[in-house]
Amino acid sequence: MADNYLEKRYDEVFGSGRKTVRKVGGKSLDSLLLKNRSHRGFDHEVPVTMEQLRTIAGVNDKIPSGRNQQVLRFRLVTRENGGTELQKLTKLGAALPELHLPFPGTEPEAFIVICTTVPESKFVDIDLGISLQSMLLKAVEIGLNGIAIGAFDKAAVRELLDLPLDPALLVAIGKGTDKIQLTRITPDAPHAYYRKEGIHYVPKIHLDDLLI
Ligand SMILES: Cc1cc2nc3c(=O)[nH]c(=O)nc-3n(C[C@H](O)[C@H](O)[C@H](O)COP(=O)(O)O)c2cc1C
């Protein structure tokens, strides 16, 4: 590939006034990041298709990887091929045990199961994070939502889906129904999410307090 290929492509996509153009297809990264909240309730009237999951998983042949080892593998699960059973092996909203999330009838039904071909390590975990966030942003871009699920029964998920590899992380995908707002906190304030009058609040430390 010519050295200036990316530069030319950048100009084609963004135009030459680089500093002023911040959006592709009308969705800036900031707006995707803000919309990318963790939902724990999903609309069963809007079933996720295998094609949508494939579109979301499609980020994975374009992202960085530690030493470019690309050790992650993915199983796509919809309502049709095990999503309902898989959901029962997961735990949502541990910080709000009294709510017993998800509410009946709003359970996630579609998942991307991320497996690894090697035991977990620092690099594998970083790859997992890059993959997770890239897929969640893609979900938001196509009008869906999601949540990472680390709390699940690994052995039971492997058996249920007849996986050839150990699952490391689940990503639930669907049309989110939660009303979610970010709140600004200082580093010493409680970090736990909470709900008040039907709104799910997620505290985030302000950038000024993140910079050292
Ligand atoms: C690696 C990882 C694992 C997570 N596992 C769970 C989980 O098992 N159950 C759950 O309800 N939320 C889980 N979450 C979601 C977090 O609770 C959520 O990201 C956090 O509350 C901040 O909310 P936000 O994603 O809307 O910013 C997980 C998030 C990450 C990044």
Q: How many CB atoms lie within 10 A of CB 54?
A: 12
Residue with tokens 């699940």: 152
The pLDDT value recorded for residue 23 is 54
Which segments of the chain are extended strands (E)?
23-24, 27-28, 72-77, 110-116, 145-149, 166-174, 179-185, 194-196, 199-205
Q: Is the CB of 150 under 6 A from ligand 1?
A: yes
C-beta 170 within 6 A of ligand 1: no
pLDDT of residue 27: 73
Q: Is 205 in the pocket of ligand 1 (CB under 6 A)?
A: no
3-class DSSP assignment, residue 8: helix
- Nearest-CA residue for atom 9 of ligand 1: 92
- The pLDDT value recorded for residue 52 is 98
Query: What is the per-residue pLDDT for 25?
Result: 55
Per-10-residue mean pLDDT for the chain, 212 residues long?
37 38 66 98 98 98 98 98 98 97 98 98 98 98 98 98 98 98 97 97 98 98
Query: At residue 19, what are phi and psi to the nearest 5 degrees?
Result: -70, -25
pTM for this structure? 0.89
| Backbone angles phi and psi of 156, in degrees to 5 | -70, -35
pLDDT at 210: 98
- Gap between the Cα atoms of 165 and 77, Å rounded: 15
Domains in the chain (CATH in brackets) are 1-35 (no CATH), 38-177 (3.40.109.10)
Q: How many angstroms separate the alpha carbon of residue 181 from the centre of ligand 1?
A: 15
Give the distance from CA 82 to its chain's centroid: 19
